Chains A and B, each alone.
Chain A
């Protein structure tokens, strides 16, 4: 009965969303407070209902209730508890329910913190959120209902794909969705602004924290996914420009642009229309990503849902929301007042440059991702657009932006002094080149471009630190004064610096791995030794073992350097019994920031085996940098400026005309 109650709660959530979508907009039109306040109650109620439904589904998974088809299809009674729980979103139906849960969670947050916003804005925002919730609740109930039942109930489930039984993948989707769906709030704010036909200063202040939160989670989600692919798939790669990866990367790029343009808008009231457009585009890309992944139109290693009705339904949602929002934009954008003016060389100018490059880069990724689909639909030709295309376009486009990053925070608003800033960044450039050259010699040569790549990364890091140092007056004022100033800097300044430093670190990792990685494929017999990255690996032999639901063959390797034994590593191939599915468990050993990566191939006669060994210099920088970016996001989010912008209750009578207060 509890299952059916959860199912009913989901249906009731849809009904609540219908009300939330209809009445508050009416209230905003009629200036009726009751109708507008209904939005907040409805948003909270809707969230609680979906949360209950989600809890019930989780309960069904935990108790292995195979009378629920979804549980039967994706669970097994012998699976460890954590994978029973993560199995809830390890499949299409459950992951869509998680999508809806996060969407309604954000609505509830807007309702909870929205007391400070103008009532009409809150009402409209929540109504737009409810439109999205309605569409997805309907999608879930009609095409992918996780509460469908099986009578009679089977005795055992079909188990989760073993490759998904991994801690990294247990938390990757929720993080990714927090990012994807977080942008829905920005979208709703943008559409609400268009409906009202005006944007005020409070609007920008309110959009920024949501963008920041969504962006931070999306960064975490993408980074986690990349690391998972790296260690679990056994191919040693960390980014494949796979369409599904691009689907999450495009909203991230657009979201990064939005983050920066919202800054201009808040501080200078400029770029209003552009920011609204960008907010719509960002969430549209999130929806597009959901469509690409869920409809199975892609030839991708990830798409686990291939069902045409679902695809068409999501396509309809996509067309409705993107088309509707852009139509509204075309219709209403002229009502928005244009804001302040600025010189091309200025902080605003730098942020426009940032936006220009990021959106162009997003467009190239979008083109590369969709072109094969469009071409196939038009001509029937099948092509694949792979890493070479993206490296050539995206990589080249991003270069000027990376160079410009440290300039942004150093330029003054309105009118900046480029020569002065260049002078201040001279030290950063010099240190960068120095480090690049040093690393180049340390690695005994290699591509010269790599030297500049490393230099660029270091320059980003030092340049960001330069900003903090200059702001605290380091070197100009006494040490203790500089320290006081430093600690008095707004948190957002630290956030900016951290995120930019993270970008530099990731860049260093990417360049080092791309240029200096070594890969050895070799046939090894026990006792044989192979050199990689200055270390020697000796293959000692194979061993058979077994885990709770798999059997494995592991190879043992001893790692030494200069004759001294340092470490050992096991690398295995597993066979999961329930689905008869083989997986590779690569052996990875970390030395500083670099890693040795060993994966096994096929066994050949006489105890020999094909082994693939990578030396991945500085690879941990790639994900280490994203940790810095996330830290930057959270630090900025804690800035007090983001929390104000609301009239205190006591002040209201002053600003409200007497006639209206009656």
Chain B
């Protein structure tokens, strides 16, 4: 191989690889990302069953029902509307009624219950997930700091 050919081979290989990687990323974006919603978005946006989404909001006071122990049901609300959620597993330490929470999972076909496979709360007792706070604000719901902190 001449000098030029060597260089071309290397550069060609690199470009080919990069194109491949770009396609992979595009594909992954179409498959593996979850949109974030608060309950009142769901009325407007029609989320097909089986699509992974994140659902955020506040755990409605008095809605937590620990059923047979492992499976917990509760309602995530943005004060305008609420969505019933079921979750099997151990809730995070900071999961509390009246506190912000983000759940991830899917809607099951033919049911309005959101089946979550992960529930997130933050390392901080004064936590309101940023997504939730922003969205709730956008919905015109002001959360007074007092209630959420105390």
Chain A interface (Cβ < 8 Å from any Cβ of B):
161, 163, 234-235, 299, 301-302, 304, 341-344, 349, 352, 356-357, 360, 363-364, 367-368, 371, 381-386, 388-389, 392-393, 396-397, 521-523, 573, 579-584, 599-602, 604, 608, 610, 612
Known: A301-B120, A382-B36, A612-B89. A393 touches B7 (CB 8 A): no
Query: Given the complex of chains A and B, what is the CA–CA distance between A363 and B28 in angstroms?
Result: 14
Known: A299-B131, A301-B122, A388-B31. A582 touches B25 (CB 8 A): no
Tell which of B9-17, B76-84, B139-147 binds the partner. Answer: B9-17
With both chains docked as a complex, state the minimum distance between the C-beta of A201 and any C-beta of chain B, in angstroms.
Answer: 22
Is the CB–CB distance between B93 and A392 below 8 Å?
Answer: no
Is B60 part of the binding interface, using a Cβ–Cβ cutoff of 8 Å?
no
Partner of A364, one of B13, B14, B25: B25
Total number of B residues with any Cβ neighbor in A under 8 Å: 45
Is the CB–CB distance between A344 and B66 below 8 Å?
Answer: no
Query: Which 9 A-B pairs rank lowest in CB-CB distance, beginning with the nearest?
Result: A523-B69, A382-B36, A388-B32, A601-B90, A389-B32, A582-B93, A392-B28, A299-B130, A360-B21
Is the CB–CB distance between A602 and B131 below 8 Å?
Answer: no
B52-75 at interface with A (beta carbon < 8 Å): 54, 66, 68-70
- 26 A-B Cβ contacts within 8 A? A234-B93, A299-B130, A301-B122, A341-B3, A341-B6, A344-B13, A356-B14, A364-B25, A371-B29, A381-B36, A382-B36, A382-B134, A383-B34, A383-B35, A384-B36, A384-B104, A385-B29, A388-B31, A389-B31, A392-B27, A392-B31, A521-B88, A573-B93, A584-B93, A599-B90, A604-B69
Known: A341-B3, A356-B14, A612-B90. A367 touches B125 (CB 8 A): no
Note all chain A residues with C-beta closer than 8 A to B1: 343
Chain B interface (Cβ < 8 Å from any Cβ of A):
1, 3, 6-7, 9-10, 13-14, 17-18, 21, 24-25, 27-29, 31-36, 54, 66, 68-70, 88-94, 104, 120, 122-125, 129-131, 134-135
Query: Given the complex of chains A and B, what is the CA–CA distance between A344 and B33 in angstroms?
Result: 37
Note all chain B residues with C-beta closer than 8 A to A371: 29
Note all chain A residues with C-beta closer than 8 A to B66: 602, 604
With both chains docked as a complex, state the minimum distance between the C-beta of B135 and any C-beta of chain A, in angstroms.
Answer: 7
Q: Report which residue of A163, A352, A384, A599 has the largest number of chain B beta carbons within 10 angstroms of its beta carbon.
A: A384
Is the CB–CB distance between B70 and A385 below 8 Å?
Answer: no
Is the CB–CB distance between B31 and A397 below 8 Å?
Answer: no
Query: Given the complex of chains A and B, what is the CA–CA distance between A234 and B32 in angstroms?
Result: 26
Is the CB–CB distance between B21 and A397 below 8 Å?
Answer: yes
Note all chain B residues with C-beta closer than 8 A to A521: 70, 88-90
Residue in chain A with minimal CB distance to B89 = A521
Note all chain B residues with C-beta closer than 8 A to A235: 92
With both chains docked as a complex, state the minimum distance between the C-beta of A603 and any C-beta of chain B, in angstroms.
Answer: 10
Note all chain B residues with C-beta closer than 8 A to A360: 17-18, 21
Query: Given the complex of chains A and B, what is the CA–CA distance between A343 and B7 in angstroms?
Result: 8
Known: A357-B17, A610-B70. A581 touches B125 (CB 8 A): yes
With both chains docked as a complex, state the minimum distance between the C-beta of B132 and any C-beta of chain A, in angstroms.
Answer: 9
Is the CB–CB distance between A341 and B34 below 8 Å?
Answer: no
Known: A388-B31, A582-B93. A393 touches B6 (CB 8 A): no
Is the CB–CB distance between B32 and A341 below 8 Å?
Answer: no
Note all chain B residues with C-beta closer than 8 A to A599: 90
Query: Given the complex of chains A and B, what is the CA–CA distance between A304 and B130 in angstroms?
Result: 12
Partner of B25, one of A393, A579, A604: A393
Note all chain B residues with C-beta closer than 8 A to A382: 35-36, 54, 131, 134-135
Known: A356-B17, A383-B33, A521-B88. A608 touches B6 (CB 8 A): no
Q: Report which residue of B29, B31, B35, B122 has the largest number of chain A beta carbons within 10 angstroms of its beta carbon.
A: B29
Is the CB–CB distance between A341 and B7 below 8 Å?
Answer: yes
Known: A392-B28, A579-B125, A602-B91. A342 touches B6 (CB 8 A): yes
With both chains docked as a complex, state the minimum distance between the C-beta of A318 and any C-beta of chain B, in angstroms.
Answer: 21
Is the CB–CB distance between B34 and A384 below 8 Å?
Answer: yes
Partner of A352, one of B10, B34, B122: B10
With both chains docked as a complex, state the minimum distance between the C-beta of B76 and any C-beta of chain A, in angstroms.
Answer: 15
Query: Given the complex of chains A and B, what is the CA–CA distance between A304 and B122 in angstroms?
Result: 11
Partner of B91, one of A579, A601, A604: A601
Note all chain B residues with C-beta closer than 8 A to A304: 124
With both chains docked as a complex, state the minimum distance between the C-beta of A345 and any C-beta of chain B, in angstroms.
Answer: 10
Is the CB–CB distance between A523 and B24 below 8 Å?
Answer: no
Note all chain B residues with C-beta closer than 8 A to A161: 123-124
Residue in chain B with minimal CB distance to A576 = B125
Query: Given the complex of chains A and B, what is the CA–CA distance between A363 and B129 in angstroms?
Result: 27
Residue in chain A with minimal CB distance to B4 = A341
Note all chain A residues with C-beta closer than 8 A to B24: 364, 392-393, 396-397
Partner of A389, one of B21, B29, B90, B135: B29
Is the CB–CB distance between A299 and B129 below 8 Å?
Answer: yes
Query: Given the complex of chains A and B, what is the CA–CA distance between A393 and B131 in angstroms?
Result: 25
Partner of A583, one of B14, B27, B91, B93: B93
Query: Given the complex of chains A and B, what is the CA–CA distance between A166 and B116 in angstroms?
Result: 31
Is the CB–CB distance between A389 and B70 below 8 Å?
Answer: no
Residue in chain A with minimal CB distance to B120 = A301
Query: Given the complex of chains A and B, what is the CA–CA distance between A356 and B16 in angstroms?
Result: 11
Q: Report which residue of B25, B68, B94, B131 has the largest number of chain A beta carbons within 10 angstroms of its beta carbon.
A: B25
Note all chain B residues with C-beta closer than 8 A to A386: 32-34, 104
With both chains docked as a complex, state the minimum distance between the C-beta of B28 and any C-beta of chain A, in angstroms.
Answer: 4
With both chains docked as a complex, state the minimum distance between the C-beta of B95 and any C-beta of chain A, in angstroms.
Answer: 9
Query: Given the complex of chains A and B, what is the CA–CA distance between A602 and B71 in angstroms?
Result: 11
Note all chain A residues with C-beta closer than 8 A to B32: 385-386, 388-389, 392
With both chains docked as a complex, state the minimum distance between the C-beta of B143 and any C-beta of chain A, in angstroms.
Answer: 16
Query: Given the complex of chains A and B, what is the CA–CA distance between A79 and B84 in angstroms?
Result: 42
